[in-house]
Amino acid sequence: MLKYIFKRILLFIPSLFIISLFVFCLSNFVGGNIYEDIPDDQFRTEHIQRRAAKYNYDKPNFYLSFTAAAYPDTLYLVLEKDKRNTLKQLIAQYGNWSVISSYKQAVEAFIFKVHPDNIVDHFIDSSSLDAQIELYQNLTQLPILYEDEDISGRLENIQKYCTNYPKLDSFVKQEKENLLASYQKIKTESTTNKLYVPSLRWNGTRNRYHHWVTNLLGLNDQLGFKNTFPFINWQPDFGYSLITGKSVNKTISDALFWTLILNISAIFLAYIIAIPLGIFSAVKNKSRLDKVLTILVFILYSLPAFWIAILLISFFTTTEYCSWCDIFPSSTSFGDLLSDPSTSWWHYIPKFILPIICLVYPSLAIISRQMRGGMFEVLQQDYIKTARAKGLSERKVIGKHALRNGVFPIITLLAGIFPAAVAGSVVIERIFGIPGMGRLLLLSIDGEDWPIVYIILMLASVLTMVGILLADILYALVDPRVSFK
């Protein structure tokens, strides 16, 4: 028994590792330039560095990297994704990083020299000024170009401006020559053979994945949030929102609060209703009532919850269709309640009636069917016959003897409760405007706030795994017949 549990937990750890890797990889695919809104002024580089450090973008991705020897191990320090990709493409073509990096510096120096903020206008007339701006615009394209054709075209333009405006030419002469020479050098001194030499590098623990996971586990207490989860001694750092720039710990724990309230009450209600239903159908097996119940829960199961939600809102929250139809409160003003300091907890109750209905009814079928199956099997057993034969009341036979064994199958459903409690109500929350995890997830997807999206995915996955693990262990504990192989 202990061995089984131990083995089960041991298998849990590599799965967890793989899931975290998977979610991390997914999060790496999402695009978007997170530095887009930073103004192009003299502090830009500094700002970019600060933001990159905040989101851990100034680190390599993983413990190991396996690339060609031509790629430098410090490429991740080029923070902007499009510029980094350009450099990668240049290396993939020519393979000589040292020359490419001096070309990059030449471009940067040139851009700096003709930057509109650095105009030294005392020797440039107005027409040269326009030329300088044209020149600058051409230059700013260079860091994101890698095709020889495109770069050469830009370089030709630059030369053209310089020859047309001798004053400008003399002003930027050195930078221009540097740039042209370094680009020539890239082409003449290419070392493509380096592209065929693989190299495996160890990046150490200062990498994005390591930070992400340890923050999630609460091992790096850099924020000093002690009270995110008051009852458990777990201080995770979920990272920062890309939109507000604030820590998402508070956002997630707030959302979790509402989702937990919603789902736990729904799950609780579902069990309270479905278990007696299941027992009833099992006892009255093949009776008319059993058949009606079976069909009823089947229909309930097949009714899409989001449709029922829409129907309930359309027909039972307004007086549009009949005068007594507004039996449920309208669901639109959850935000007002939250912002109003005078609201007490009972003001929220009416808001939860409809969502809970929509969450409860689909799960009735699953739970009651499971319960019915389990009970039905137990009622066929010999010991139930014995119990009846010795004259126990039907109530005692069912309530005391059968129920205890018949409830086993419900345990397998336990695995589903954990993820459902966190992410089981995405659509319902969206429809009823409940500020829970599901709504947060959808809002974050819409707003491209990726750190939140992937943290929620990770949390839900981990909880599902924990649920499956617990269900397996519990099942083994309560039912000694389960084989431990």
Binding mask 351-380 toward another protein (x if CB under 8 A, else -) reads --------------xx--xx--x-------
In whole angstroms, the minimum distance from the beta carbon of 23 to another protein comes to 8
Q: For residue 198, what are the β-bridge partners?
A: 68
186 binds another protein, rule: CB under 8 A: no
431 binds another protein, rule: CB under 8 A: yes
Contact in structure between 126 and 135 (CB atoms under 8 Å): no
- The smaller minimum CB distance to another protein, of residues 21 and 77, is found at 21
92 binds another protein, rule: CB under 8 A: yes
Residue with tokens 């924990």: 466
Number of Cβ atoms within 10 Å of the Cβ of 483? 6
In whole angstroms, the minimum distance from the beta carbon of 36 to another protein comes to 16
Contact in structure between 51 and 482 (CB atoms under 8 Å): no
Q: Which long-range contacts (CB under 8 A, 24 or more apart) does 443-450 make?
A: 447/243, 448/30, 448/32, 448/242, 449/241, 449/242, 449/243, 450/27, 450/30, 450/32, 450/242
3-state secondary structure of 284: coil
461 binds another protein, rule: CB under 8 A: yes
443 binds another protein, rule: CB under 8 A: no
In whole angstroms, the minimum distance from the beta carbon of 109 to another protein comes to 26
What secondary structure letter does DSSP report for 125?
Answer: -
Which of 306, 328, 348, 376 contacts another protein by CB under 8 A? 306
457 binds another protein, rule: CB under 8 A: yes
Amino acid identity at 405: N
In whole angstroms, the minimum distance from the beta carbon of 321 to another protein comes to 7
Chain positions 60 to 79 lying near another protein, rule: CB under 8 A, are 66-68
Which of 217, 264, 311, 349 contacts another protein by CB under 8 A? 311
Residues 386 and 407: their CA atoms lie apart, in Å, by: 20
18 binds another protein, rule: CB under 8 A: yes
In whole angstroms, the minimum distance from the beta carbon of 330 to another protein comes to 9
Q: Which two tokens stand for residue 380?
A: 């066929």
In whole angstroms, the minimum distance from the beta carbon of 265 to another protein comes to 20
Which of 151, 172, 468, 476 contacts another protein by CB under 8 A? 468
304 binds another protein, rule: CB under 8 A: yes
Closest CA to 452 of 463, 465, 442, 466: 442
Scanning 100-108, 218-226, 234-242, 306-314 for contacts with another protein by CB under 8 A, the matching segment is 306-314
Q: Which two tokens stand for residue 291?
A: 């058949």
Closest CA to 239 of 259, 222, 254, 258: 222
31 binds another protein, rule: CB under 8 A: yes
To 5 degrees, how large is the angle CA 375–CA 380–CA 383?
A: 100
301 binds another protein, rule: CB under 8 A: yes
Contact in structure between 457 and 445 (CB atoms under 8 Å): no
Residues 298 and 205: their CA atoms lie apart, in Å, by: 53
In whole angstroms, the minimum distance from the beta carbon of 151 to another protein comes to 14
93 binds another protein, rule: CB under 8 A: yes
33 binds another protein, rule: CB under 8 A: no
Scanning 178-186, 241-249, 385-393, 422-430 for contacts with another protein by CB under 8 A, the matching segment is 422-430
149 binds another protein, rule: CB under 8 A: no
Amino acid identity at 407: V
Q: Which two tokens stand for residue 369?
A: 């069917």
In whole angstroms, the minimum distance from the beta carbon of 381 to another protein comes to 15
445 binds another protein, rule: CB under 8 A: yes
Distances in whole angstroms, Cα of residue 81 to Cα of each of 29, 143, 383: 12, 11, 70
198 binds another protein, rule: CB under 8 A: yes
- The smaller minimum CB distance to another protein, of residues 67 and 102, is found at 67
Contact in structure between 198 and 69 (CB atoms under 8 Å): yes
For residue 330, what are the contacts with CB-CB under 8 A and spacing of at least 6?
A: 317, 318
The b-or-e profile of 180-193 (16+ CB within 10 A means b, else e) is eebbebbeeebeee
In whole angstroms, the minimum distance from the beta carbon of 379 to another protein comes to 16
- The smaller minimum CB distance to another protein, of residues 104 and 369, is found at 369
In whole angstroms, the minimum distance from the beta carbon of 216 to another protein comes to 16
In whole angstroms, the minimum distance from the beta carbon of 319 to another protein comes to 10
Which of 9, 77, 303, 338 contacts another protein by CB under 8 A? 303
Pairing of strands 64-68, 198-202: antiparallel
For residue 118, what are the contacts with CB-CB under 8 A and spacing of at least 6?
A: 112
6 binds another protein, rule: CB under 8 A: no
End-to-end Cα distance, the chain: 10
239 binds another protein, rule: CB under 8 A: no
Rg over CA atoms, the chain? 33
Residues forming the site for another protein (CB under 8 A):
11, 14-15, 18-19, 22-23, 26, 29-31, 66-68, 88-89, 92-93, 195-196, 198, 298-299, 301-304, 306-307, 310-311, 313-315, 317-318, 320-321, 365-366, 369-370, 373, 409, 412-413, 419, 423, 426-427, 430-431, 441-442, 445, 450, 453-454, 456-457, 460-461, 464-465, 468
